[in-house]
């Protein structure tokens, strides 16, 4: 029987994965083509756009099929367990992705900037960059002509602290939403989910405002040496993940309105919730090592 709970559901052949592979390859080639022609007269973005549209299209239909299969009760408890474990280990791989960027920040702050300023056991840099003084935040780069340093940096108080409170409370609200669903209070579940999404969106708006402020008023850009580099890459990469998380929350919210999820069966919500907690924890580390320390 198709929905025999004794049997692990192995889906029939599917055209989605190979289409996804094609879309991902198109996106990769398209992004490279776009970046390589960016400085020229006519940058060529069509391949990139095509690829991204392809990815979105395949993702929507793929998730649609999985949701339908779940509603048809094809997925038994063991299959659902596979999804849960898959999501957990995917988040672990994301942790390692962030780990590499934090590693870069620590290496630069603890070792290499000091070495450039001739501290420690590595003399000789004064021949290359005479007069360079190591400090953090690094306001004056070794070669100020090629990399003019920032005029100011963003202090920890103000927007970063507000953002910390926003994300922390959104982690709490999604937890409440989850509990409301388990108590089968659908209306409450939807409201708490909407609140979570709202907090996430406000976070992104504030972060965007902060970036504009940094670029226009503070002279803090990607090009302003290693401080701007690490600042924007760590916060920007985190912001990208918040965006992905917010998309997940939106889908969960819409599915909630459509009557999906039951008190015992809500993998989509659980996955989005885990992901949201994960970006929250990453932010706490960012707040500490990028803004405060």
Contact status: 107 vs other proteins (CB under 8 A)? yes
* The only residue of 119, 143, 152, 217 in contact with other proteins, by rule CB under 8 A: 143
Omega before 137 cis (within 30°)? yes
Ranges within 206-245 binding other proteins (CB under 8 A): 221-223, 225-229, 232-233
Ranges within 65-94 binding other proteins (CB under 8 A): 65, 68-69, 71-72, 74, 78, 81-83, 85-86, 89-90, 92-94
Ranges within 119-138 binding other proteins (CB under 8 A): 120-122, 128-129, 138
Q: Could you tell me which stretch among 26-34, 150-158, 211-219, 259-267 binds other proteins (CB under 8 A)?
A: 26-34
Query: For residue 172, what are the contacts with CB-CB under 8 A and spacing of at least 6?
Result: none
Q: Give me the least distance between CB of 10 and other proteins, in Å please.
A: 5
Q: Could you tell me which stretch among 95-103, 158-166, 191-199, 261-269 binds other proteins (CB under 8 A)?
A: 95-103
Ranges within 153-212 binding other proteins (CB under 8 A): none
| 257: its two tokens | 């309105």
- Distance from chain centroid for Cα 58: 21
* The only residue of 43, 46, 99, 257 in contact with other proteins, by rule CB under 8 A: 99
Contact status: 6 vs other proteins (CB under 8 A)? yes
Contact status: 147 vs other proteins (CB under 8 A)? yes
Q: Residue 203 or 232: which CB sits closer to other proteins? A: 232
Contact status: 104 vs other proteins (CB under 8 A)? yes
Picking from 212, 225, 25, the residue whose alpha carbon sits closest to that of residue 136 is 225
Q: Give me the least distance between CB of 173 and other proteins, in Å please.
A: 29
Contact status: 14 vs other proteins (CB under 8 A)? yes
- What string of H, E and C letters represents the secondary structure of the chain? CCCCCCCCCCCCCCCHHHHHHHHHHHHHHHHHHHHHHCCCCCCCCHHHHHHHHHHHHHHHHHHHHHHHHHHCCCCCHHHHHHHHHHHHHHHHHHHHHHHHHHHHHHHHHHHHHHHHCCCCCCCCHHHHCCCCCCCCCCCCCCCCCCCCCCCCCCCCCCHHHHHHHHHHHHHHHHHHHHHHHHCCCHHHHHHHHHHHHHHHHHHHHHHHHHHHHHHHHHCCCCCCHHHHHHHHHHHHHHHHHHHHHHHHHHHHHHHHHCCCCCCCCCHHHHHHHHHHHHHHHHHHHHHHHHHHC
Ranges within 28-57 binding other proteins (CB under 8 A): 28-29, 31-32, 35-36, 38
Number of residues that bind other proteins (CB under 8 A): 82
Q: Give me the least distance between CB of 152 and other proteins, in Å please.
A: 17
* The only residue of 11, 155, 208, 263 in contact with other proteins, by rule CB under 8 A: 11
Q: Could you tell me which stretch among 111-119, 154-162, 175-183, 257-265 binds other proteins (CB under 8 A)?
A: 111-119
């Amino acid at each position: 029987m198709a929905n025999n709970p004794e049997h692990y559901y192995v889906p029939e052949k599917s055209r989605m994965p190979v289409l996804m592979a094609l879309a991902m390859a198109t996106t990769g080639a398209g992004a490279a083509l776009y970046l390589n022609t960016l400085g020229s007269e006519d940058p060529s973005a069509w391949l990139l756009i095509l690829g991204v549209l392809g990815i979105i299209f395949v993702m929507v239909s793929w998730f649609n099929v999985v949701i339908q299969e779940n509603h048809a009760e094809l997925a038994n408890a063991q299959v659902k367990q596979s999804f849960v474990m898959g999501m957990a280990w995917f988040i672990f791989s994301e942790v390692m992705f962030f780990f590499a960027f934090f590693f870069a920040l620590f290496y630069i702050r603890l070792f290499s900037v000091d070495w450039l300023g001739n501290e420690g056991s590595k003399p000789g840099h004064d021949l290359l960059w005479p007069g360079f003084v190591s400090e953090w935040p690094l306001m004056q780069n070794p070669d100020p002509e090629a990399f003019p340093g920032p005029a100011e940096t963003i202090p920890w108080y103000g927007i970063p602290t507000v953002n910390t409170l926003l994300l922390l409370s959104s982690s709490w609200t999604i937890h409440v939403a989850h509990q409301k669903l388990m108590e089968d209070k659908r209306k409450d579940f939807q409201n708490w989910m909407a609140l979570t999404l709202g907090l996430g969106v406000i976070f992104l708006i504030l972060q965007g405002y902060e970036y504009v402020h940094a670029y226009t008023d503070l002279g803090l850009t990607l090009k302003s040496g290693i401080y701007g580099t690490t600042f924007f890459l760590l916060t920007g990469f985190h912001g990208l993940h918040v965006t992905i998380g917010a998309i997940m929350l939106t889908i969960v919210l819409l599915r909630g309105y459509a009557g999906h999820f039951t008190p015992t069966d809500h993998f989509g919500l659980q996955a989005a919730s885990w992901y949201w907690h994960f970006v929250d924890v990453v932010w706490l580390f960012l707040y500490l090592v990028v803004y405060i320390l």
